[in-house]
Each structure stands twice: as C-alpha cells, then as structure tokens.
Amino acid sequence: MENKNAASVPMKIGIASLDAQHEALFECINKFIRLYLKGEPERGEVEKQFAALVDYTVTHFDDEEFFMRSIDYPELANHAAQHQALRDVVDSFSTRLEAEKDLHTFCGEVIELLKTWLNKHICTLDAKIAVYYQSHGK
Ligand SMILES: [Fe+2]
Ligand SMILES: [Fe+2]
C-alpha cells in the first residue's frame, strides 16, 4: 500500500502563481494526513480541515479557470469539466461526512483520492496550460 505519511511536492508546471497554489494545496493535504495518522481523529478537527481543503481546492480551480480565460486557452472547456468532476466528488464526500462514523477511513479515502487525482491532473492537464502559455502568452 502507498505511503500515507505525506503527499509529495507536486510537479512544477512553470507558472509561478499556479505552482504556489498547488504547493499550498498539498500542504492542506499534508495537514489532513497528520489527522489521519492520529488513528481515530476528532470530528471537529476533521470537519475543520476538510472544509479548509475543499475551500482551497475550489478557490484554486476558480483562479486557474480565470487564468485560462485570460490567455484565451483553447482547452478551457475540457479542463473546467475535469475540475467540475472533482468538485462533484468532493461534494459527495461532504455529504457523507455528516453521518460518517468511521472518520479514520473517511480521512484515508479523501487523502488517496486527492493525492492521486491532483498529481495526475497537475502533470497532464495543468502542465498543458503552461506549454500553451509559454508559446502564446504575453
Ligand atoms: Fe487544473
Ligand atoms: Fe491546478
């Protein structure tokens, strides 16, 4: 099984503002991992850290979509649809958390999902924004 002790630093795509947000996002995940490692974490803490994680993810997606629009990025629609798919999954986790009894398992699943999804997304779709920006940006 994959090591859950920390989410590795995400790949840098070469756009400083987005790279800084990706790093901050992984720091939010690392806080969640520290909760997970406590065994059975306290509900209030899980709710607080999960809300921060959701909030930061949504803010990052909004900012990244704003950036794509600002450079007339031609693959915005497909990219934004991927973001929306993750927003939907995160929403279903939020609903599940309200009645969840096994918070340790809940945290583990959130960590696995976000680490895997974000690493893949950053290395593929986000990296393509930078390639476009470097050849078409101002
Ligand atoms: Fe993205
Ligand atoms: Fe991103």
pLDDT per residue of the chain (138 residues) written in tens, 0 to 9: 345 567 777 889 999 999 999 999 999 999 999 999 988 889 999 999 999 999 999 999 999 999 999 999 999 999 999 999 999 999 999 999 999 999 999 999 999 999 999 999 999 999 999 999 999 865
pLDDT in the model for residue 72: 95
Within a domain: 106: yes
Number of domains in the chain: 1
- Within 13 Å of residue 52, how many CA atoms lie on the same side as its CB? 14
Ligand 2 centroid from CA 11, angstroms: 11
Largest CA distance in the chain: 51
Within a domain: 6: no
Q: With contact defined as beta carbons under 8 Å apart, do 14 and 123 qualify?
A: no
Within a domain: 10: no
Q: Which domain holds residue 52?
A: 39-136
Ligand 1 centroid from CA 134, angstroms: 17
Ligand 2 centroid from CA 14, angstroms: 12
Within a domain: 96: yes
Q: With contact defined as beta carbons under 8 Å apart, do 54 and 107 qualify?
A: no
Within a domain: 8: no
Ligand 2 centroid from CA 40, angstroms: 31
What's the CATH code of the domain at 77? 1.20.120.50
pLDDT in the model for residue 4: 57
Within a domain: 109: yes
Ligand 1 centroid from CA 87, angstroms: 12
Within a domain: 112: yes
Within a domain: 66: yes
pLDDT in the model for residue 110: 95
Ligand 1 centroid from CA 22, angstroms: 10
Query: What are the CA-CA distances from residue 70 to residues 5, 37, 60, 76 (Å)?
Result: 37, 41, 15, 11
